[in-house]
Amino acid sequence: MKNALFTLLIFVITGCTSSQHANESSIRGLTTTQLGEDKYELHYQTRHSSKHKGLELTMQQAAKLTLDKGYDWFSVIEKTVEINQTQRSLHNGSRHTEQTTRCGLLSCTSQTTHTVHEPAFAERTVTTHLTITLGKGIKPNGGVYDAQALSLELNNESFKNQM
């Protein structure tokens, strides 16, 4: 019985790992997952980029992946870009004490309130998600990118921005 369960577990683990291959690319925060022979999912998340730059880096990686796998072009099946902003506190706030005195006809009462002011900052996270299909030969019309041309264009644009 133990051998049968062990064998079943090995088949399940092997099946899960062979259907999807995730690897880290050279860009930090970008993961590439193989969904099929010519279908990939690219997911890029950063806190130090704009929506445009996040999409540009993901497209550049898609072009690089296409060329590395021996294909000529890729089509974008799904594309999403999300921006999330959250307020974060620094947890080193200043304490402020305020005393209020109220007097009536017969007596006065004092009330002391303590408040802590914590400085906060906005944290912005840009998440880009692409699902692509790779292809060779003649490009179909619409939504298809020539990997070599796109790679050169984006590399030249990056070079111009550094000058």
Residue 34 within a domain: yes
Residue 10 within a domain: no
Residue 39 within a domain: yes
Residue 101 within a domain: no
Q: How far apart are CA 25 and CA 33, in angstroms?
A: 10
Nearest to 42 by CA among 16, 70, 69: 69
Please check the confidence at residue 92 and state whether its pLDDT lies above 90.
no
Q: For the chain, how many structural domains are there in total? A: 1
Residue type for 31, please?
T
Residue 146 within a domain: yes
Residue 94 within a domain: no
Q: How far apart are CA 18 and CA 34, in angstroms?
A: 10
Three-class SS of residue 50?
A: coil
Taking the CA atoms of 128, 132, 137 and 143 in sequence, report the sign of the dihedral they define.
negative
CATH number at residue 47: 3.30.1360
Select, from the ranges 4-13, 46-55, 63-72, the one with the highest average predicted confidence (pLDDT): 63-72
pLDDT at 131: 95
Q: Which residue has the higher pLDDT, 69 or 10?
A: 69
Instruction: Indicate the pLDDT class of residue 21, thresholds 50, 70 and 90.
Output: very low
pLDDT tens digits, residue range 108-156? 788 888 777 666 667 788 899 999 999 999 888 888 999 999 988 877 7
Please, are residues 157 and 63 in contact by the beta-carbon 8 Å criterion?
A: no
Q: How far apart are CA 65 and CA 71, in angstroms?
A: 9
Residue 149 within a domain: yes
- Backbone Cα Rg of the chain: 27
